[in-house]
Structure 1
Amino acid sequence: MTDITLYTSVSCPYCHAAKALLTQRGLNFTEIDVSTNDAARAEAQARSQRRTVPQIFAGEQHIGGFDDLQAWFARQG
C-alpha cells in the first residue's frame, strides 16, 4: 500500500476516528500534528486546499477528511 500521511490536531475527534480506522485496517501511517506547528499546518493547507483536519493522503493522492477516508475504503472493496 502507498504511504499514508495524516495531518491531525490533538483536539479533533475526526482525527482520532481516522487514526482508529487506519489502525483497525492494519495500515501504517505517518501522523503530522498541526496543533502547534504552523509550518505543518501551512503545508497541509497547501497540499489539500482545505483548512480543516484531518487531511489524509495516500502517497500524493489527496483522500480528504474522515468521511472521505470511509468512502475511499468503501470504493476499494
Structure 2
Amino acid sequence: DRVFDIDSGRGMGEHGGLPTQHFTIIFNTFVMMTLFNEFNARKIHGQRHVFQGIFTNPIFYSIWIGTCLSQ
C-alpha cells in the first residue's frame, strides 16, 4: 500500500517498523487548518471581511507568522 508515493507501514506489526511519514502529513494538515481557522475566528456577529484590521493586533499576526514559519 502506497499513498503519496510513501509506504503505508501496514503489515509491519505492532512494534516492527518505523513511524511513517503519513503521521507528519496528517499533523501538518491539522496545523494548516488551525491557521485558516484563526483568521475565521477573528470576526463574529456576521462580519464578513476577516482581513479587516489584521495588522492592528501585533500579537495575533506575530503568533500566526511564527506558526507558519515553524511549520
TM over 0.5: no
The normalised TM-score by structure 1 is 0.25
Name the structure, 1 or 2, with higher relative contact order (CA <8 Å, separation 6+). 1
Choose 1 or 2 for highest CA Rg: 2
